[in-house]
């Protein structure tokens, strides 16, 4: 219901905007067809993996490490991937209806992406984050139950999962210039610089897609 209201009132007005279609095609946000092609399988793996970073924030993203193996370890990608797969299996064995409810929105989003009606891209997938978190949580619960040694230390796995997000947040508080990582646009700094150096008679051109930031 939430998606339908949002789509009818807002998103549907944008689906035929050619510049948006061009932009999302450029960033490969639409799932390629046919489904059984190697390109589609590669696309699916890559995009599902990047969801662990954005919007879920479960990767450590310490890419500045000198050692390639260390960078892989620091990303901690294996833990959320393994737990989500365990969670899917656990739901399949015990509650297929719950699994269907959790995965149906993801399937519908991928279908809309294949039809180029909705891009499978970063912040546009925030609404899927709680569903994947539930799969990971189920996997965490099953892992703790299956390993008696973890029952007295139940917080170890959740703590490891959340360490990446806490570490990234702490790093951005310590170094505000890194806030937003690759998404930092420096719009505020640019506008303040123009405002400070503006002289009478100067003409300032505001790009149309910058209008919201400028007005703010």
pLDDT for the residue numbered 161: 86
pTM of the model: 0.78
pLDDT for the residue numbered 201: 92
Reduced 3-state DSSP string for 27-82: CCCCCCCCCCCHHHHHHHHHHHHHCCCCCCCCCCCCCCCCCHHHHHHHHCCHHHHH
* Mean pLDDT score, 143-157: 83
What is the C-alpha R_g of the chain? 21
* Mean pLDDT score, 139-148: 89
């Amino acid at each position: 219901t939430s998606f339908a209201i949002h789509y009818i009132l807002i998103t549907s007005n944008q689906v035929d905007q050619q510049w948006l279609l061009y932009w999302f095609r450029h960033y490969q946000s639409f799932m390629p067809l046919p489904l059984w092609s190697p390109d589609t399988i590669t696309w699916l793996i890559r995009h599902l993996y990047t969801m662990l970073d954005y919007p879920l924030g479960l990767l450590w993203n310490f890419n500045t490490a000198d050692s390639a193996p260390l960078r892989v370890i620091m990303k901690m990608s294996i833990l959320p991937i393994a737990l989500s797969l365990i969670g899917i299996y656990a739901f399949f064995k015990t509650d297929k209806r719950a699994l269907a409810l959790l995965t149906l929105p993801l399937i519908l989003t991928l279908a809309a992406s294949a039809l180029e009606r909705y891009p499978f891209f970063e912040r546009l997938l925030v609404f899927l984050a709680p569903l994947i978190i539930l799969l990971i949580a189920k996997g965490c619960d099953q892992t703790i139950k299956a390993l008696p040694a973890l029952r007295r230390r139940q917080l170890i796995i959740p703590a490891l999962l959340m360490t990446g997000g806490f570490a990234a947040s702490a790093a951005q508080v310590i170094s505000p210039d890194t806030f937003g990582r690759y998404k930092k646009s420096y719009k505020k700094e640019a506008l303040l610089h123009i405002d400070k150096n503006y002289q009478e008679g100067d003409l300032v051109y505001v790009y149309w897609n910058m209008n919201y930031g400028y007005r703010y």
